[in-house]
Structure 1
């Protein structure tokens, strides 16, 4: 196998930059609401007047959200093109270079950049259309998640002040933190009735589609040159569908077979859910398969115990959950600072440290894990 020039970690960073744009957008919307809902001078006697005034400014929130969304959309389009087209062309060139080891004159697809542009365009439009329709209303008076959230925060804050259970400042802060916990959802409700928040939706669309696009150009390079055999990457942490065949020789033919000349066995990917969301190379799968020419290439992928890799995969999922929690607590700390809420600042600063310590412990306890501080940052 040729040495890979495309660093998988770099691809992950580039992919994460797109997610970060929308995570920042979500945070900016909460900060926008926190700034607009000033409770200074509010008492139980005049809180209803405050409520009416704030509700009448709903159109200003919608207008400000549209501006934030326009900026995020422009940044996202540039980042998506960089990921899919620039990185995708590198992946294709590397596949052709690998194939040329067994074929001095490999077939090269002249319009591969158009194929990648198609993936980039579709990904951008999917995210843009879904997020835009969710966050803002095209016409004043129509419901959107942002306007509904703004209205509910005002009403819940007013209710707490009238009840006399909290000061106006405490009521507003606690209500905003509660909605920050929920996040902006549902951005999408899938066929199973599951609600997807903004972070989960963008992360899944970008990671799954980019993995599919990169694998598509590898497959194109292979198929154009009559190759239907591959070597699959291997990870110390794997999900159930991929664990039995990771690091092995595989084929995208319907049936497994043994090469007559080399005696090498190629397992059919279709025996492991290939082409289905939960199968190998399905949603959120990060495995790679490279073109493999029997008698020319060698399989140098590390081999991992099947059950151990599945068990490791579950531990890695726990690490990812803790990393997400670190980011969530950091966002709430940002909001606490925006609200000048000393109680909240202390609470969430301690909470950030708590979950950072939990990440450190799980990494120290499992030598196959690594600490990636980029996964704990907010932008």
Structure 2
């Protein structure tokens, strides 16, 4: 069987949790610095004077993450590659040949993949390069809250705490621990890391599977059927792909066990499918070995509109829970904290009702935590 997306989620858990905890810590840090002495007359001057301390404290948090980043990413990629290779042997019927056991023993040890290690190192460098942008944005948010909160309190008849809360809430919605990419999209740091590490480990799992299939002489794979597939992946869902070069389309090949000729439809090569958008960043599709004459393909078409709608509603509820948990953490007034807590409870109730009405869905508690989600706003 192919490597389950949930298995990959477990593989990347350490890296993603590292950044979720970091995002939580940085947001708490900024909130604490803003709230200190907020009702005293010299608050603005004192807070701006403390900016250097805030920057150093934020840098310490990011440095502690960096110390663990390389190890967690390298381990995740290695585990994904090994899982991909192991998945192939689980799909081969024992009656295929007398040499199946020998083939399993010969391929039991996964060789170190220089390409996978290079992929992991590139990801570590890419993520690490974002740290300075995140720290700069944190200090910019801090300055804006101090400046706009003070000005609004003077002009609008609000207390300084109330005015600062309004400004800070708006900036929290945009993402305090975030950066803007080259295309102008604002990413929360943890969301970017989740997207990047999921994409790389998914690719590593497929590569591990493909490498082992080549050694075993299995040239075909079939694409998994995943919920909420995008337009780029839908043409390949449940279809056969060739892992190397060779003819595609309707072709005749040997039955995997009998050797008799069978006709199969090969949609494309794996490389061509990727060049046309399959397995794009954050794609959850996997592939498994296709054995001509044995493997049964999913029924076409694979779309599930009702299931997709239910899952999309679950994602929306998860976003709402995360949003109000973040607002609660960043509250500068008791009223704001109470309102956010009430909204969290409300949306958690909505989640329970939605899952009860759609029993095929399962609750993913990690997606309700601050920093979950893998797409920019």
1:79-101 per-residue CA deviation (whole Å, 9 max, x = no partner) reads 32332113432322332565695
C-alpha separation in 1, matches of 2:180 and 2:224: 32
Matched, 1:54 2:54: no
The match for 1:139 is: none
Q: Secondary structure at the match of 1:187?
A: strand
C-alpha separation in 1, matches of 2:186 and 2:27: 20
User: Could you say which structure has the greater relative contact order, defined with CA pairs below 8 angstroms and 6 or more residues apart?
Assistant: 2
The match for 1:140 is: none
Conservation of the 8 A alpha-carbon contact between 2:325 and 2:344: yes
Q: Equivalent of 2:314, from 319, 324, 349? A: 319
Conservation of the 8 A alpha-carbon contact between 1:235 and 1:309: no
Matched, 1:204 2:195: yes
Q: Equivalent of 2:77, from 76, 84, 88? A: 84
Give unpaired runs (5+ residues) of structure 1: 137-143
Conservation of the 8 A alpha-carbon contact between 1:249 and 1:299: no
C-alpha separation in 2, matches of 1:270 and 1:223: 14
The TM-score normalised by the length of structure 2 is: 0.81
C-alpha separation in 1, matches of 2:358 and 2:232: 22
Q: Aligned-pair RMSD on alpha carbons?
A: 3.1
Over 3 Å counting, the alpha-carbon distance change for 1:371 and 1:305 in structure 2 is farther
The TM-score normalised by the length of structure 1 is: 0.81
Give unpaired runs (5+ residues) of structure 2: 256-261, 372-377
Q: Secondary structure at the match of 1:116?
A: helix
Matched, 1:35 2:32: yes
Conservation of the 8 A alpha-carbon contact between 1:231 and 1:250: yes
Count of residues in Structure 1 that have an aligned counterpart in Structure 2:
356
Mean CA deviation greater in 222-231 or 55-64: 222-231
The match for 2:179 is: 187
The match for 1:163 is: 155
Residue 367 of structure 1 and its aligned partner are, at CA, apart by: 4.5
Conservation of the 8 A alpha-carbon contact between 2:180 and 2:187: yes
Conservation of the 8 A alpha-carbon contact between 2:318 and 2:368: yes
The match for 1:292 is: 290
Conservation of the 8 A alpha-carbon contact between 2:249 and 2:265: yes
Mean CA deviation greater in 349-358 or 310-319: 310-319
